[in-house]
Structure 1
Amino acid sequence: MSKPKSPDSLRSARWFAPDDLRSSTHRSRAMQMGYAASEWSGKPVIAIINTWSDINPCHAHFKTRVDDVKRGVLQAGGFPIELPAISLAEIFVKPTTMLYRNMLAMDTEELIRSHPVDGVVLMGGCDKTTPALLMGATSAGLPAIYVPAGPMLRGNWQGTVLGSGSDVWKYWDERRAGRIGKTEWEGVEAGVARSHGTCMTMGTAATMMAIAEALGMSLTGASSIPAADVNHIRMCSASGRRIVEMVWEDLTPAKILTRDAFENAIRTGMAMGCSTNAIIHVIAQARRAGIPIDLDDFEKASRIIPVIANIRPSGDTYLMEDFFYAGGLPGLMSRLKDKLHLGALTVTGRTLGENIDGAGVFNDDVIRTIDNPIYNEGALAVLKGNLAPDGCVIKPSACAPHLRKHSGPALVFDDYPSMKAAVDNEDLDVTPDHILVLRNAGPLGGPGMPEWGMLPMPKKLLKAGVKDMLRLSDARMSGTSYGACILHVAPEAYIGGPLALLKTGDIVSVDVPGRSIRMEVSDEELARRRAAWTPPPPRYERGYGWMFAKHIRQANDGCDFDFLETQFGAPVAEPVIY
């Protein structure tokens, strides 16, 4: 492909090339680190934003994979520099990594803008890192390619295949019900995570890595490769080579992240059995690109795209390793050709249609045909009504069918500790018809909208053999979770959304096929309750949390900071170099 850019037009040349004192200092300090002028002169400087840390098991291999990316950059004639960013270790960061997704997005954007770089490789995978890196790179505007961490190997315990999250919840309920003991549980603990890499169910990590590929921001097939597979190493070096070419071609995110690209991502996500978190992250990513995606776009896709990836938790057998062997994302997308915009441009420099041309499926039970889905509609459904006027979401492909249309009395909790204590109390007055409700767990109330939405089943019901019931909250839930959980209620209760007015005993009616949710309470009674409602005190009085509270958007708007969306103000100018 032709090279629109010349060496003297490289962005990095503004730092290194001029014959003046300022640039002399830049060259001198680079030489201080052992580099020779020939290593950067006339070459694209490539930032590698690495979210590795000692406490992020999903990214443990990034400590060495970054060397594979560097190798590719060097092979293609570029000059690589690694720029560490906040890691967002999903399991360990409290109250939730979602509180810090936008911090990583800002970190990414400012690292790119402030350094002498011409293009960027984004290394992420664990849940919030993928959308955060892409959001930041989109706002920065330089050529960018995404390197996914990849899923870990399948788990194993006593000959039983284990899936991240999904089987943890299942066996923990078995332990709470007294059907397995401490020794068995310790075996599950040790066997469920056997290698580096992200969750190997179709959780949020696998979902967002695949969505990045469907958007066109990673190499074809990259998102499905298991982290421990040698193909992952080759993909990393190939990404390093490709970003150098992208710089010469001036192939920026703005040329890739079109409305067609986002519709491809949403439709692919629906077919995968994607995480409910995809809605929040994709909306935020799209708005960074100036594309007005909203809940209606997901609802439209849900009506025309069936779930064809038979992967837990929507499926009941297979994991991401099986998905890779069966053909991975290119195989799945090849079965959606009639539903996709095949002319969308990708980081390969080719269209999506060209990328997946000839892709095959090698196991028709893992990746089903459109005519033989595991669920006839898309993975997610958007519900609206007087309880959630701005919408809420459920994953009907992963919940008991009889609960997709249900009315029952609410059992309401204002905070997680009181809810947790209640469901462990075997004297709790609860039946399978009740709807468990947790509120004040949204973007502001959580704070940060923690993954509390898969409310634990009451121990009393577990012991009676009940496996599922309707659960409702303004929180999120892990993509590895399952069950009849209604999430992301907007506006959230903490800011006075209708959920704040619900009382224990009120009847809540849910109709997934009809896409409705309402509390059977008169408008007059709701007005009386609203007049008596008192706003809770702020969660933060200083620091990042204070800034978060002042600027966070609600779930239906993607939970980005208002001042980072494209309509807030003019694009940031290139930095003055002096």
Structure 2
Amino acid sequence: MPPSHETDPQDAAQGMAKGLTNYGDRGFSLFLRKAFIKGAGYTDGALDRPVVGIANTGSAYNPCHGNAPQLIEAVKRGVMLAGGLPMDFPTISVHESFSQPTSMYLRNLMSMDTEEMIRAQPMDAVVLIGGCDKTVPAQLMGAASAGIPAIQLITGSMLTGSHRSERVGACTDCRRYWGRFRAEEIDAQEIADVNNQLVASVGTCSVMGTASTMACIAEALGMTVPGGASPPAVTADRIRVAEQTGTQAVQIARERLTIDKVLTAKAFENAMRVLLAIGGSTNGIVHLTAIAGRLGFEVDLKALDRMGRETPVLLDLKPSGDHYMEDFHHAGGMATLLRELKPLLHLDALTVTGRTLGEEIERAGPGFPQDVVRTRANPIYPQGGIAVLQGNLAPGGAIIKQSAANPLLMEHEGRAVVFENAADMAERIDSPDLDVTADDILVLKNIGPKGAPGMPEAGYIPIPLKLAKAGVKDIVRISDGRMSGTAFGTIVLHVTPEAAVGGPLAHVRSGDRIRLSVKERALELLVAPQELARRAAERPVMPPTAERGYRKLFLQTVTQADQGVDFDFLRAPQTQARVPSGKP
């Protein structure tokens, strides 16, 4: 069972009688609650229905959730059609581009807000409305800890735009055009023109970035209604999904289908298969690990890598392919992908519909001709999009998105060009005096969970300007940070332990030799152990601290990437099992 703060004698209560405020008189507590809610015009008949909470993450700072008002109205309609009482409430809203220092820094805070608001307010089930990168994992983490029936509603992807007759969409094309601008291949007027076209509507990134990855993972976990991952934000299909979500929320409230019955070990293994098959964001591993940790499961990265060797990339979406999320939706969405993955899935995993994943795949009917989801006999990439690396530079593991990397660089040995932190990189990366060649390996330290703090998406280290101008499009890059799922290149991420806590990365110096072998899953610093020990003694690492507030809490309790960058006190105290099991 999910962890709880304490045993609540009111757990069996339902509706407005659930979780009463403590005035020392239970009868008076319910009397007072009803008196106040009736001030909003509710009748006793309405208040006797199952209560469905709706987490409202709309915000003027969050265009990814710009359709939240329409979704809330549709959810309410679905709840009322099913005989429930909808109650929307606000929580923290986190947008990737509007969060300083990074949205990952605030993900755990949003998860705590979500958990505590679910606990504090009377609801028999909760609808979680989220879309932008960190919101869906934050909501699933919080709901997993709160333990009540829950269902995820994805806000949906944006539409694509057009620049000089070329179809474009955020944010793989953002990075591609910005790279061309840095290399002086296009001028200031063109970069301004394309800026107007990259985000053609409200909604999340239209490629297989973290937002789309988490949408697909949520459906694979069984946490959305069927077809809930792919409809774009501004479509009628998305509004219908919202109404269906409201209706289903009443059903799971009545059946008391709590979230732990859906988020099982089998569900997490299914989600990992999907993550690999869609060429999903590397962030998906961190988020799945954090969600699983809230339920007492521990993610086994080695088993995940073994799973990846037999799970090809099938989804032809940028950055691993060519299409966009609206194309995936037109191709049948997750039903098309899951149908192709059936032999590799746990078809008996339960979903929020009360039916199994296998039953839902069958209910979706037969497939139809399309060119977005490949067959396993004709994949985009023969192995899963993500590979797990280990070696003396990353004893706790590191990852690489091999489906978006340059095949010529995935077996490479080179000289390290080291940046001590993000500020050092910003100061020197474009210097004409930087001693760097295309055969070198860029190393960026201190952008991990504690080092930044918040593990920013700075792992997508830009090509040094002198190389970009010379036409270099990729170079091996290594860091203890993350990168956006919309990014591409031969980039090693999540090096664990991070530099800020004294991991081996802290002691890499410019001129050291590093060997990367994706085939062997190896990341090796070619420096003698005695020399590394001498460096560590010469320059001992002092982890960063803070004097007050959320930053102090974050730095004192945040875990490393292999445990999901969650707070240690929010993870379930007992480990139920390791996932994946490694069994097909």
Is TM-score (shorter-chain normalized) higher than 0.5?
A: yes
Task: Give the conservation status (yes or no) of the 8 Å contact 1:289–1:566.
Answer: yes
Structure 1 residues 182, 347: CA separation in 2 closer, same or farther (over 3 Å shift)?
Answer: same
User: Which string of whole-angstrom CA distances, capped at 9 and with x for unpartnered residues, describes residues 229-250 of structure 1?
Assistant: 1110011011001110111111
270-279 vs 17-26, which moves further: 17-26
The structural deviation recorded for 1:8 is 8.8
Residues 1:114 and 2:123 are matched in the alignment: no
Task: Give the conservation status (yes or no) of the 8 Å contact 1:271–1:379.
Answer: yes
Residues 446-485 of structure 1 aligned to structure 2 (within 5 Å):
446-485=452-491
Instruction: Report the secondary structure of 1:394's partner residue.
Output: strand
Alignment partners' CA distance in 2, 1:433 and 1:28: 72
Residues 1:169 and 2:178 are matched in the alignment: no
Alignment partners' CA distance in 2, 1:27 and 1:289: 34
Partner of 2:156: 150
Alignment partners' CA distance in 1, 2:552 and 2:347: 44
1:312 to 306, 312, 318: 318
The structural deviation recorded for 1:292 is 2.0
Partner of 1:30: 37
Partner of 2:416: 410
Size of the aligned set, in residue pairs, is: 561
Alignment partners' CA distance in 1, 2:26 and 2:468: 74
Residues 529-540 of structure 1 aligned to structure 2 (within 5 Å):
529-536=535-542, 538-540=544-546
Alignment partners' CA distance in 2, 1:451 and 1:15: 39
Residues 1:336 and 2:325 are matched in the alignment: no
Task: Give the conservation status (yes or no) of the 8 Å contact 2:336–2:367.
Answer: yes
Structure 1 residues 337, 455: CA separation in 2 closer, same or farther (over 3 Å shift)?
Answer: same
5+ long unaligned stretches in structure 2:
1-10, 576-584
Instruction: Report the secondary structure of 1:344's partner residue.
Output: coil
Alignment partners' CA distance in 1, 2:379 and 2:440: 31
Alignment partners' CA distance in 2, 1:14 and 1:532: 59
For 2:343, give the aligned amino acid. Answer: D
Partner of 1:240: 246
1:492 to 490, 498, 505: 498
Residues 1:283 and 2:289 are matched in the alignment: yes
Instruction: Report the secondary structure of 1:440's partner residue.
Output: coil
1:101 to 104, 107, 120: 107
The structural deviation recorded for 1:170 is 1.2
User: Which string of whole-angstrom CA distances, capped at 9 and with x for unpartnered residues, describes residues 188-209 of structure 1?
Assistant: 1000001011001000000011
The structural deviation recorded for 1:228 is 1.1
Task: Give the conservation status (yes or no) of the 8 Å contact 2:450–2:543.
Answer: no
Partner of 1:509: 515
The structural deviation recorded for 1:36 is 1.5
The structural deviation recorded for 1:297 is 3.4
Task: Give the conservation status (yes or no) of the 8 Å contact 2:545–2:556.
Answer: no
Structure 1 residues 544, 488: CA separation in 2 closer, same or farther (over 3 Å shift)?
Answer: same
For 2:35, give the aligned amino acid. Answer: S
Alignment partners' CA distance in 2, 1:133 and 1:359: 31
9-18 vs 171-180, which moves further: 9-18
Alignment partners' CA distance in 2, 1:379 and 1:16: 48
Task: Give the conservation status (yes or no) of the 8 Å contact 2:483–2:493.
Answer: yes
Structure 1 residues 15, 284: CA separation in 2 closer, same or farther (over 3 Å shift)?
Answer: closer
The structural deviation recorded for 1:51 is 1.1
The structural deviation recorded for 1:254 is 1.0
For 2:511, give the aligned amino acid. Answer: G
Alignment partners' CA distance in 2, 1:132 and 1:312: 25
Partner of 2:556: 550
Task: Give the conservation status (yes or no) of the 8 Å contact 1:275–1:479.
Answer: yes
Residues 1:194 and 2:200 are matched in the alignment: yes
Partner of 1:3: none
Instruction: Report the secondary structure of 1:335's partner residue.
Output: helix
For 1:82, give the aligned amino acid. Answer: D
For 1:327, give the aligned amino acid. Answer: G
Residues 35-50 of structure 1 aligned to structure 2 (within 5 Å):
35-41=42-48, 43-50=49-56
The structural deviation recorded for 1:420 is 2.2
The structural deviation recorded for 1:460 is 1.1
Residues 1:367 and 2:373 are matched in the alignment: yes
Partner of 1:575: none
Alignment partners' CA distance in 1, 2:54 and 2:343: 36
User: Which string of whole-angstrom CA distances, capped at 9 and with x for unpartnered residues, describes residues 156-215 of structure 1?
Assistant: 211101131211111111111111001110111000001011001000000011101100
CA RMSD of aligned residues (A): 1.7
Residues 253-272 of structure 1 aligned to structure 2 (within 5 Å):
253-272=259-278
Structure 1 residues 14, 52: CA separation in 2 closer, same or farther (over 3 Å shift)?
Answer: closer
Instruction: Report the secondary structure of 2:106's partner residue.
Output: helix
Task: Give the conservation status (yes or no) of the 8 Å contact 2:501–2:543.
Answer: no
Alignment partners' CA distance in 1, 2:346 and 2:557: 34
Percent identical among aligned pairs is 47
Q: Normalising by structure 1, report the TM-score.
A: 0.95
Alignment partners' CA distance in 1, 2:369 and 2:326: 12
Task: Give the conservation status (yes or no) of the 8 Å contact 2:66–2:203.
Answer: yes
For 1:505, give the aligned amino acid. Answer: G
Q: Normalising by structure 2, report the TM-score.
A: 0.94
5+ long unaligned stretches in structure 1:
1-6, 570-578
The structural deviation recorded for 1:33 is 1.6
The structural deviation recorded for 1:565 is 0.8
Task: Give the conservation status (yes or no) of the 8 Å contact 2:389–2:522.
Answer: yes
Partner of 1:572: none
2:398 to 387, 392, 395: 392
Partner of 1:381: 387
Alignment partners' CA distance in 2, 1:388 and 1:515: 11
The structural deviation recorded for 1:223 is 0.5
Task: Give the conservation status (yes or no) of the 8 Å contact 1:294–1:557.
Answer: no
The structural deviation recorded for 1:296 is 2.2
For 2:291, give the aligned amino acid. Answer: Q
Residues 1:347 and 2:347 are matched in the alignment: no
User: Which string of whole-angstrom CA distances, capped at 9 and with x for unpartnered residues, describes residues 312-333 of structure 1?
Assistant: 0011x21111111111111001
Residues 1:214 and 2:220 are matched in the alignment: yes
